[in-house]
Each structure stands twice: as structure tokens, then as C-alpha cells.
Structure 1
Amino acid sequence: MKAILIDDEELALNYLEHQLLHIGDFEIVGKYTDPMIGKREIEKNEIDIVFLDIQIPKLNGIELAEQLLEVKPQLQIVFVTAYERYAIKAFELNALDYVLKPVGKQRLQNTMKRIQSRMEEHTTFSLQKSENLQMSMFQQVMIVDGGQEIPLRWRTAKVQQLFLYLVQHRGTSVNKTAIIELLWPELEPEKAYHQLYTAIYHIRKTLAPFSKYFQLSNTSEGYKVRLEQTILDVDQFERFFRSDLSLSGETIGEYEQAIALCKGDYLQEHHYIWAESERQRLQLQWVQTAVKMVDWYYANDEWDKAIKLCLDICQRYPLEEEAYFYLMKIFADMGRHSSVHKQYDQLTSVLWNELQEQPNPAITEWYHLWKQKNKE
């Protein structure tokens, strides 16, 4: 296993090299007290593992680690720290591989067993080599390759949230300060940046098998995620919505496929405040598309499809008055009088319970005229 060691203390480097050579299976490619020189050598050479001091001059060790993973996603990194034992809990909570100075042989052997096991898992894990990966963000976040769901195991909820936040802003650089204010507003700047670098590090480790599809890059002020050869359900739906395709018998199938993409709300399982405006924007687009389809079904006497879609709208968004109104008109045309009353009563009840409001005057006027006409 080819290794590079980085530590600003020459004695610590020599001692670590001595211990590694004693446990065997290591080729020490280089030792560096200057982290930037070490970084360049790692980028130039085929390296399997890096032993990296956390406290190095010029650059935070974890920040350097995530920069290395940007260009070498499969690189294994072990952090070396002189922190007192009481402070090690922070490393364990963040699930970092670390060894404590002076580096003990037993601890080093245990760490290497974990890393070798992880490398074997990466070797056995392989995608189906599909031309495109599929990712859904409606209802449940899911990645699918060749029809098979690929689970992503995130170290912490914050790491997952940061990944999804970057995906929401895909193709755009997100400022580090904005991320910290969003996820760690209560922490002092130094601790907050430490958490940020650790989270980015874990995102890179999780995405390593998918580096062809998810590209996470450093920018001058922050981070940017780009999706390559990845079909995102949100993008598919938005492209259709923006196309403003004329609705007809020839195109109704495309409309049905488009709204079927939206199996639920955007990031439905996650109650992120930052996702709410996007969620509402996509809800509006879906409702507009669905109501347009209901109108076409109704005009073309496809009442069963109109009823089914209206009921779906009402279940998802109970305050959408148009769906109830279409149901009332369809049931009136079908002679199902009790169903007309039921829909009007449900609409009246939900509006009053949620908003303390009455139905749209046009709906109420239609309902009263219908009752008079049918002597209800």
C-alpha cells in the first residue's frame, strides 16, 4: 500500500514511518513537513493512503483532506492528532479515522484493518454501468441504477442535509458563510468551519463510487455540485412544464408521464426550512398542470380520469378549490346528486377549518343555482 505522510514535525514523521514499516505492507512514497508540497505529490502520484496531521500550518488538516478527495475520491485518509484524549470524542462523533500521537502500533493496526475492510467493500461495490443514473427528489430521495435502488449511507443528518442543499443549488457556487449560517449558526467561526470541512469530507467519501455522476468542487468562496449523466426527476418535470406543450389527444400521454414524476412533494420526508420555497413553487406547477389535464378530460368526457385526478389533487392539497368544483360539475352531469353535496360540504369544511373562509363566490353561486334547478 503506497503511503504519503504529512506532519509539520520531522520527529513525528520519522516515528510514524518507523511504526508503519514495522506493521508491514507499506511503501512510504514521501514524507512532508510542508502540506502544500505533500498535496502536489499526492495529486501527481498513485497513492493509496495519506497520514495527515490535523494541526498543520497554512491549512486545516480536514480542509486539506476534502480538497484531496476532490481530485482523488478513492484516497484513504488517516488523521494524526496530538489532542488530549478527552477531545478525541469530537473525532469519534465525526467518524474520522484517526491515530493519537505518539502513534501506538496496536491502534495503527486496528485502524488499518478498518480501512482495508472499507477498501474491499469499494472493490466489490459496482454500479450497473448504466449510461445514466436516475435520482428522485420528489417524495423520497433515491438513486437508481439499472432499475436497482442504490442506498446512500450518510454519517450524520447534517451531512445529508448539506448534500441535498448543494444539489438544490446544483450548478451554482454556494458560499461557505451561507452554509455555516444555515447549518451551524450557534457555533464560533473556527468550530463552524471545522464542522463544514468535516461534512464536505464525508460527502466526498460517500459519493466516491458515484464520482462520475456527482462532481463536488471547491470554488473561490464555497462549493458547487454538478450532476453529470444523471436524470433528476425535478429537472424532467420542470423541462416539461416550461415547454408549455399544447394539450391534445396526441399529447395527453406526455402530460400523464410528467405529473407521474411527482410521486409526492419535493423533499417530502425532510422538513428543511430552506427547501420550503422550492417545494411550494413545484407544488404550484404540478397543480396547474393537473388542473389543465382535468379540464381536458372533462371537455372530452373522460370523466373517470378527471375524477381520479381531482381526488388526487384534493388529497395532496386540500385547499385547491378548482378540484372540488370540477368534481361537483362532473357528478352533476352524471346525476350523482349526493356526491355533489358531499364535495361542496367537504370544501366548505376544509376552508373553514384551515382558513376560516367560505368557498369562492362563483362556486357557491353555481351550487345554489344547481340546487334550485334540481329542487334540492
Structure 2
Amino acid sequence: MIRAVVIDRDETSVQFLSEQLTNIHIVKVFTSNAFTLQTLEKLRPEIIFMNIHEPTCIHIDLIQYISNHQLLAHLVFIKEDEQALAQTYVHETPVKYIVKPYTKKQLEKLMIEINDDIIYPNYPVTELCLFKYFHIKKAGNNLLNIKWRTAKARELLIYLIQHYGETVRKDVLVELLWPDASVDKAYDNLYASIYYIRKLLSELHIGIHINTHVNGYEVEFHNVTCDVMEFDQLYEEIMSDIRQEVDKQVLIHKFNRLKQLYSGEYLEEESYVWKEHLKEKCRIQFLSIARKIIQLFIEQDDVTNAILLSLDIQKLYPYMDYSYFALMKLYSKYGDMENVERQYMKLKAMLYDEFNTEPNESIKMWYQNWIKMQYA
């Protein structure tokens, strides 16, 4: 439901608005302009109806406040007759209006406009990036210096994005983010954080809506993409394509996009404990597909691309022995003795330095047999 405030002395008209605008919840009616902007902010309205033919209802400071984008709300002027201008502007910004006596047709038209411009406005294309670290791109450029009210507000938004398509319970959120606060304080922090996130997203003109349900919140995207979601979809497509033996060039094209998305591990540079499950899932998915693509390159006798991809994996995961062994075998195909030996020595040094251990028996055996073949 859209939260609304009405500033009008006409109780009958207010009642008609309330009955006809079924997806709008009027949280407060003011019969005059005798209220502060701080009071209004606490009510968190998304729409404000103001009667501009009642002098005691016209709140000039409020009009200026909204026109400067300092309040998360849209203004609808109430007019007493059709003689007023058909379109009103505040600082060159068009403002919606409705005219008394209200009709169902007029209010239906208003709701269409609200759906188009307030609920689902034309947001610019926005990318949410969660691989390596959380950042937001508009028109391909990183949004720098976003002023998060608190670190917890930023974490809250990321957590809701991670659970896109789910309703995240409020009690789960307060326990996760404010475990040491009293129950009342934790919920106050949650409500304040949700309000400021909504306000920030509105100011940035980003199509992420946080919908409130009885027990929790759910994010909704409008003209927003997310790298992790695209990654997951591509993974499923590629796995399906492999099973159906789709053309190999199609597979490679899709994998190149997957690799481009996977610029680092999921939230690699963020310290959130709750990220670990998804981080591990993405790692397994990427490595599973990458190994299949390496094998595909080998089958095509494209050793160069197989080596390049193996080196990429080694850069991402320097403490996994897979890439070292894969590169040893690939360099062997090229007859590149020097790099076979270099990879084995790098693997030995890494395992000793990091884990105080040696390469496993299968790698040792392969290397020993390779050495014998060189001097046979």
C-alpha cells in the first residue's frame, strides 16, 4: 500500500478519496498547515495531497522542500474548480492535481499516472555488482561516494538483495544486524534504516523498491540488473547446453560472459559472515563450468585458450592445486618443459608455505613419469 497524507478541511472529500483509491493508505489528515516538516517525515508518506484553494492548508515550506528533493514524497494538488491551470509547476517540476468534485473516472486516471510516475517511473538502467565488492553502476559508471547513513543500512540493503524474491522476516533482520540491542531499539533501528535506504534510492533514482509485508520486507527491481543473478542464470543455461551438446562456440560465448561477471568471489572484500554460503556456491559453479570449458578447448586442440583460462583460475584461486596440475599437462602438450617444471615448483612452494604439505600422490606420480619420459 502507498502511504499518503492529505491536507484538506473537507472531510467528505477525504472520505471519498480513501474509499476510491484502494491501493493508497491515508496515514494522516491535516485540516490546516499547522504541522512541522519533521512531523511529516516521521509519517513517511509517499504521496501528499494538498488543497491549494484553502489558504490555511497551503504549506509553502513543504512545496519548496519537495521541489528540492529533500523529502521522499510526491505532491498532488487538490483544486476546487476547473478554472485553475491545467498543469501546475513548482520550480519547473510538474505536479499532479485532482479537481473537486471528484469522480471515479478522475481518480482512476490519477492512479494510472501514479503507477507510471510514482510507483514505476522510468528508471535509468542500473547494475548491482556483488562480485568482489558491493557497488552500483548507472550508465556503465560506478556511483562513487554514496552517502550511506550507517554501515548497517548498507549491509541491510545488500542482505535484502541477496534474498531477492523472498520476504525476509523482520525478526531475522534485527537478530542479524542488531543482536546486542534491546528489542525496541533494534526494531527502531530497522525501521529507520529502511526509511533512509528508500530515501537514498529515490534520490539516486534507482529502481529498487523495498516492499513492506506484515512480517518482513522484499526487494523489487525496475530496470535493475544484478551480476549474481545473471551469473546464476548463465550457469544454468551453460549446464543445460552442455547436456544437449549445443554448438561449442555458443558455449564459449556464454562462458566468456560468465567469466566477465565473475570478477572476484561473491562479496570477497566485504566482511559479512552471512555471505559465505552463496560465496561457496558461486565458487563451485564457476570452477565446475571452467573445468568443462578447459576440456572443451582441449578437445578442439585449442591449447592456448585452455592455458589462458587455467592461468585465470590460478590467479583467482592460488591455493588450489587444480590449476597447477592442469597447466603442467597443457604445457606438456606444447613440449614446454620449462613451464611444466615451473608450475610444479610453484605448486610445491605454495603448498609448503601455506599448508606445510606436499603435492598429492597423483600429481607427484604424473610429474615423475613425465620426467622419465623426457630423459628416456
TM tier relative to shorter chain: 0.5 to 0.7
**Relative to 1, partners in 2 of residues 1:150 and 1:50: Cα closer, same or farther, differing over 3 Å?**
farther
User: Is the 1:4–1:50 contact (alpha carbons within 8 Å) kept by the matching residues of 2?
Assistant: no
* 3-state secondary structure, aligned to 1:359: coil
From 142, 147, 169, the counterpart of 2:163: 169
Q: What displacement does 1:171 show?
A: 1.2
Q: What displacement does 1:201 show?
A: 0.8
User: Is the 1:217–1:224 contact (alpha carbons within 8 Å) kept by the matching residues of 2?
Assistant: yes
From 126, 133, 147, the counterpart of 2:126: 133
**Relative to 1, partners in 2 of residues 1:257 and 1:162: Cα closer, same or farther, differing over 3 Å?**
same
Q: What displacement does 1:113 show?
A: 8.1
Q: What displacement does 1:51 show?
A: 3.9
| Matched letter for residue 137 of structure 1 | L
* 3-state secondary structure, aligned to 2:218: strand
| Matched letter for residue 270 of structure 1 | E
* 3-state secondary structure, aligned to 2:285: helix
The TM-score with structure 2 as length reference comes to 0.68
Q: Give the whole-Å Cα distance in 1 for the aligned partners of 2:36 and 2:142.
A: 32
| Matched letter for residue 226 of structure 2 | L
**Relative to 1, partners in 2 of residues 1:41 and 1:348: Cα closer, same or farther, differing over 3 Å?**
same
The correspondence of residues 18-97 of structure 1 with structure 2, limited to 5 A, is 29=8, 40-41=25-26, 51=37, 53=39, 64-65=43-44, 68-69=45-46, 72=47
Deviations 1:99-150 (A, max 9, x none): xxxxxxxxxx99998776444999999xx95774332221243333333444
The correspondence of residues 166-315 of structure 1 with structure 2, limited to 5 A, is 166-209=160-203, 213-243=207-237, 244=239, 245-246=241-242, 248-315=248-315
Q: Give the whole-Å Cα distance in 2 for the aligned partners of 1:212 and 1:50.
A: 28
Structure 1 stretch 183-192 or stretch 210-219: which is displaced more?
Answer: 210-219
Partner in structure 2 of residue 332 of structure 1: 332
User: Is the 2:5–2:28 contact (alpha carbons within 8 Å) kept by the matching residues of 1?
Assistant: no
The alignment-based identity, stated in percent, is: 27
Partner in structure 2 of residue 158 of structure 1: 152
Q: What displacement does 1:43 show?
A: 8.2
The correspondence of residues 353-364 of structure 1 with structure 2, limited to 5 A, is 353-364=353-364
Q: Give the whole-Å Cα distance in 2 for the aligned partners of 1:178 and 1:121.
A: 27
**Relative to 1, partners in 2 of residues 1:115 and 1:213: Cα closer, same or farther, differing over 3 Å?**
closer
The correspondence of residues 112-123 of structure 1 with structure 2, limited to 5 A, is 117-119=68-70
Q: What displacement does 1:188 show?
A: 1.0
Deviations 1:59-79 (A, max 9, x none): xx95x53xx35xx5xx7xxxx
User: Is the 1:331–1:339 contact (alpha carbons within 8 Å) kept by the matching residues of 2?
Assistant: yes
Q: Give the whole-Å Cα distance in 2 for the aligned partners of 1:324 and 1:171.
A: 39
Q: Give the whole-Å Cα distance in 2 for the aligned partners of 1:116 and 1:135.
A: 28
Contiguous gaps of at least 5 residues in structure 2:
12-17, 19-23, 49-59, 74-90, 94-120
The TM-score with structure 1 as length reference comes to 0.68
Q: Give the whole-Å Cα distance in 1 for the aligned partners of 2:321 and 2:9.
A: 70
Is the aligned partner of 1:366 residue 2:373? no
User: Is the 2:124–2:205 contact (alpha carbons within 8 Å) kept by the matching residues of 1?
Assistant: no
Across the two proteins, how many residue pairs are aligned to each other? 300
**Relative to 1, partners in 2 of residues 1:130 and 1:52: Cα closer, same or farther, differing over 3 Å?**
closer
* 3-state secondary structure, aligned to 1:251: helix
Q: Give the whole-Å Cα distance in 1 for the aligned partners of 2:187 and 2:226.
A: 30
CA RMSD of aligned residues (A): 4.0
**Relative to 1, partners in 2 of residues 1:229 and 1:373: Cα closer, same or farther, differing over 3 Å?**
same
| Matched letter for residue 173 of structure 1 | T
